[in-house]
Amino acid sequence: MKECKKYGYIRVSTREQNEDRQRIALKEAGIQEENIFMDKQSGKDFERAQYQQLLQKLDNQSVLFVKSIDRLGRNYADLNEQWRVITKEKGADIVVIDMPILDTRREKNLMGTFLSDVVLALLSYVAESERMNIKQRQAEGIAAAKAKGIKFGRPPAPVPENFEEICCQWKAKKITLRQAAEFCRLPESTFFDKAKRMAVIK
């Protein structure tokens, strides 16, 4: 029988996060460094360069290891679809190190497959719910901050003291829009927007 090929997948959400714990767990599971694929981006979907490259390598002689299910993905529907692609279409096995029951190498029968699918559905639903809760808490926090008068984004670009005079010259067609914007050291669109808000133009 042909020896199975072991692959590992690591995902961290930002470039600042450290992947060491995942890498150590994968190496302890016997995965060689050259067979470890890593993406540094959100788990909201599976449009990730390294993951897609890994997917091309999987076949019915492969085993994919991940430290935890949320490292694979956080979107409930997409996670279940990718699990199906890997295990059914590719014929590969998946091992979730932190959750031994999610090991498709175990009990290659209908009951074993059923248990793995049920546990996956439950865990991916929990991961998706947590992701949605985080987004809701963020939105509520932003709304509360705005209600207190806290402003987000870049501060508005300053305008010169004679801004209104420059606007009047531009409105009277004594200078062009480009010249007016240059006098104020502003992009043309920004100058136009500020002029409009000051009711200099209609």
Q: Is 139 left (phi over 0), alpha (psi -120 to 50) or beta?
A: alpha
What angle do the packed helices 163-171 and 188-197 form, to 10 degrees?
Answer: 100
Residues 6+ apart with CB under 8 A from 76: 124, 125, 127, 128
Residue of 13, 68, 116, 129 marked active site: 13
Q: Answer yes or no: 13 catalytic.
A: yes
**Active site members:** 13
